[in-house]
Amino acid sequence: MSREINKDTRLCMSLAGRPGNFGTRFHNYLYQALDLNYVYKAFTTQDIEAAVGGVRALGIRGCAVSMPFKEACIPFLDELDASATAIQSVNTIVNDEGFLRAYNTDYIAIAKLLEQYQVPKDSTFALRGNGGMAKAVTAALRDGGYSKGYIIARNQQAGEALAQAYGYKWHPEVGELAVDMVINVTPIGMAGGPDVNALAFAPDVIDRAKIVFDVVALPVETPLIIYGREHGKQVITGAEVAALQAVEQFILYTGVRPSDQQVADAAAHARS
Catalytic residues: 70
**Whole-number Å distance between alpha carbons of 217 and 74:** 26
Cα(126)–Cα(179) distance, integer angstroms: 6
| 164 SS3 class | helix
Which H or E run includes 134? helix 132-143
Query: How does strand 149-152 pair with strand 92-96?
Result: unpaired
Alpha-carbon distance of 61 to 55, in angstroms, equals 8
Distance CA 224, CA 190 (A): 10
Residues 183 and 256: their CA atoms lie apart, in Å, by 31
C-beta neighbour count of 76 within 10 angstroms? 17
Sign of CA dihedral 218, 219, 223, 224: positive
Torsion of CA 16, 80, 111, 127, to 10 degrees: 60
